[in-house]
Amino acid sequence: MSSLVDFLKGSYNEFRHKVEWPKWSDLQSSTIVVTIATVILALFTFGVDELFSKSISNIIGMLINVFN
């Protein structure tokens, strides 16, 4: 149990005194970049999904017409 307490004390000390936390302006700019990248990736994924969906629907429609 002593080693767990030592570990927690060491972790707290490291987080409190040795970790260099980012500045508020750095966090804001990183958040903006991540948000923009996420929106672009979501739009791309939506576009590819719609393209595949329409393509598969067309292929299935042609196959139904061929076999009827």
Q: What is the tens place of the pLDDT at every residue in 5-48?
A: 999 999 999 999 999 989 999 999 999 999 999 999 999 999 99
Verdict on whether the full-model pTM lies above 0.75: no
Sign of CA dihedral 26, 31, 32, 37: positive
> Tokens in use for 21?
């936390």
Sequence-distant (≥ 6) Cβ neighbours of residue 55 within 8 angstroms? none
pLDDT of residue 37: 98
Q: How far apart are CA 56 and CA 50, in angstroms?
A: 10
What SS3 state is found at 67?
Answer: coil
